[in-house]
Amino acid sequence: MTIRQWKVFRAVVEQGSVTRAAQILYMSQPAVSHVVSEMEQQLGYTLLDRIGRHCRVNGCGMQLYHKLVPILEAIEDLEQSTADLEKQAPLRIGSSITIANMWLPSLIAQFRRQCPKTPVQVQVDRAKEIVRKVLANEVDLGFTEGICEEESIVKLPFSRYRLAFVCRPDLPAAGFETLKLDQLGDQAWLLREPGSAIRDSLDSALRLRQIQVKPAWESVNSQVLKQAALAGLGIALLPRQMVRSPLAAGELTEVKIEGIELENQNWMIYHRDKFESEAIRCWKQLIKQTERENGDEGRF
């Protein structure tokens, strides 16, 4: 016997007739009768007493019904629980430091409103390390900036941000309308670590111009560099969104550099072979909506 047969027979007993059972099961009456007849053939005894056009469950049928009901309830409970397992499985997210600082908290808040049963685990690291973790299936989704050329990674853009060279207004660099390229080596630089998306953007621009600078400070944390700039320790390269308030307050000033303007693209990434769970599909829709609404975020 099959579970489908059991469910049909249960409906016949609980509805009191083949006709009403057929209606709630969205089956034809002959199809329901055929299922019950198959069960009787397999069991070797009758389950319904058929008198004229009327059918009534007999004693054997009622005994079978009482045995089947708890089994079917357990099966249906298991089916429901299994359907919820995917929603309850933790979603592993890896994020670069800059995105974790400025975008990820609000994105996760939106995701939780749409998928409240799905827990989220977040790992924050350098952009290149997040790419590695996506490739190694150590995270389900990655959020990173800059260039990613891995063919096995799917990239979805969701915003971009402009980078700004900033320092305190009383530093000599602030007195120049534009710093010339040959003046860059004389400055104290407050920079992100090599391999970060922000540092890669600067290093690529300087390599094209055959220039090297030696940082006075290197940090994996942009907030540290912001505080160092506020203390007057040099020129920091930071997302302009991060320093909007101190720029407006006159605590920092933006330094223009000859021929160099930098911006980074933000991406959500995942492995091309990754199974798209309901949670990942939800993130894709969220990111596409964010791109439509805020595709130029950070361009101030």
- Taking only the tens place, the pLDDT of each residue in 202-231 is 999 999 999 989 999 999 889 999 999 999
- Of 163, 165, 192, which is closest to residue 264 (Cα–Cα)? 163
Please determine whether the domains at 93-157+270-292 and 161-263 fall in the same fold group of CATH.
yes
Tokens describing residue 112: 């939780």
Angle between helices 59-88 and 278-294 (to 10 degrees): 40
Q: What is the DSSP string of 43-61?
A: HTS-SEEEETTEEEE-HHH
pLDDT digits (tens, 9 = 90+) for 81-122: 666 666 678 899 999 988 998 899 999 999 999 989 899 999
Per-residue model confidence (pLDDT) at position 294: 62
- CATH class in words for 161-263: alpha beta
What are the C-alpha distances in Å from 57 to residues 98, 105, 220?
Answer: 69, 60, 75
Per-residue model confidence (pLDDT) at position 295: 47
Tokens describing residue 44: 């070797």
Judge if pTM exceeds 0.85.
no
- The dihedral region occupied by 154, where left means phi > 0, alpha psi between -120 and 50, and beta the remainder, is beta
Per-residue model confidence (pLDDT) at position 86: 60
- CATH class in words for 3-87: mainly alpha
Would the pLDDT of 141 be above 60?
A: yes
Q: For domain 93-157+270-292, say whether CATH 3.40.190.10 is its number.
A: yes
pLDDT digits (tens, 9 = 90+) for 10-58: 999 999 889 899 999 999 999 999 999 999 999 999 999 888 777 889 9
- Averaged confidence pLDDT in the chain: 89
What is the distance between the alpha carbons of residues 288 and 107, in angstroms, rounded to a whole number?
12
Q: Domain residue spans in the chain? A: 3-87, 93-157+270-292, 161-263
Stated length of the chain: 300
156 DSSP β-pair partners = 268
Q: Which of 6-10, 45-49, 296-300 has the lowest mean pLDDT?
A: 296-300
> End-to-end alpha-carbon separation of the chain, Å?
69
